Amino acid sequence: MKNLEVSLPCPQGEVLVPPSKSISHRAVICASLAQGNSVLQNVAFSDDISATILGMRAFGANIRYLGNYMDDKANDISVEGIKPENIPENLVIDCKESGSTLRFLIPVALLFGSHVTFTGSGRLFSRPLDVYYDIFEKQGIHYQLGEDGLSLTVLGKLKADIFEIPGNVSSQFISGLLFALPCLEGDSEIIIKSPLESRSYIDLTLEVLSKFGIKIKNQNYERFLINGSQSYKPADYIVEGDFSQAAFWLAAGVLGGDVTCLNLNINSKQPDKYIIDIIKKIGAKPIIGSSFIRAKACRTVGSVIDASQCPDLVPIVAVLGALSSGTTQITNAERLRLKESDRLKAMSSELGQLGAKIRELPDGLIIEGRDMLEGGVVYSWNDHRIAMALAISSVRCKMPVIIKGSDAVNKSYPGFWKDFVKLGGQIDEFFFRS
């Protein structure tokens, strides 16, 4: 675990935003399910994406690098799809700490009828899987949790059916089913029993599926009609830049600098594009082009932010709230308690350590803004978004911020600290005596 002393007093410059993690997961899965060869451009091998790639390789997809592999930069990859007849009978897939990998690949595993054991680390298996357990019970699919609570074994085949899913659970369950159901012999239907949260993630799934030849009828996010016996088609696909990562740099610019984020699709369906609306709402006037966004320092004011459709933005929005005048309230964020960490508790605790006036609610945060925070020692909670948000808080801290567990960023953004320095950040490795 690395501990870094960081400071970013006046961020200036351009950042090439890394590829979207959400889209990369989806593109790798779709290309792997296609019969033939696909080329995926602009893929970065964060820990989460590496887990999905290794998972699809375990099923038999031939995934290789095109050109020189660079661990913290974008790469192009070739994907030759799975041949069902070559899938091993017994598989072990290490999902690391990636909830997307686990929830996406469980239905994929049930296409083939193999004995598949999913393993992981951290809080992965403390995150709910009840939606799938209910399906297993209904369809007679065997499943078993490991005695250590860090594995799940499944055996059986998914059958076409009507699937009723609550709208307030992770959209990853719905996406996982959307990957698998088109490949079944019969037609299926997904019924959403309550208003669907994080619907933009479903939009992403549907968009990538369509690029690989899969058609699904979306009836106002209340029903999804899936014809069976469809076949994935190979495709060449360029992954766009990640708005959830750009959000950290845009916040840095707003808090005290001048930062331009490159490699962004302003017409993207990514839910975290909402960061543009948020910074406008609190007083920023970003300059927006077709492939870039520039954010400059300005006076910001607190606001009410509904996180139901953009939960991943909450850590950095909390930082913005802590350094805006007036009160910021973040609402409809209860699901953040089930991420890599309890993100509401983590941000309340660690921003409080830095001197913020912040109060934790059951489903959100209330923050009384200050002009400056103090700085000091904080912990990442082994959560990439917590680590990055705390790093950005150093833009307006009187003293440096010492982040314990700073290498948590590798989960989604291995090049984060390089970009931090590129914008003028100062970093020193810090050793604690036991």
Q: How many residues can be counted in the chain? A: 434
Give the separation between CA 383 and CA 340, rounded to whole angstroms.
Answer: 6
Give the separation between CA 341 and CA 124, rounded to whole angstroms.
Answer: 10
Q: Are 119 and 151 in contact (CB under 8 A)?
A: yes
The neighbouring-strand residues paired with 280 are: none
Give the separation between CA 172 and CA 415, rounded to whole angstroms.
Answer: 26
- Concerning whether 312 is annotated as a catalytic residue, the answer is yes
Burial of 243 from C-beta contacts in 10 A (0-12 / 13-18 / 19+): buried
CA proximity to 165, closest of 194, 122, 126: 194
Q: Is 240 helix (H, G, I), strand (E, B) or coil?
A: coil
Continuous segment of H or E residues that includes residue 76? strand 74-80
Report residue 122: phi and psi, to 5°.
Answer: 60, -135
Give the separation between CA 208 and CA 226, rounded to whole angstroms.
Answer: 15
Q: Is 170 left (phi over 0), alpha (psi -120 to 50) or beta?
A: beta
Of 48, 242, 272, 312, catalytic: 312
| Residues known to be catalytic | 312
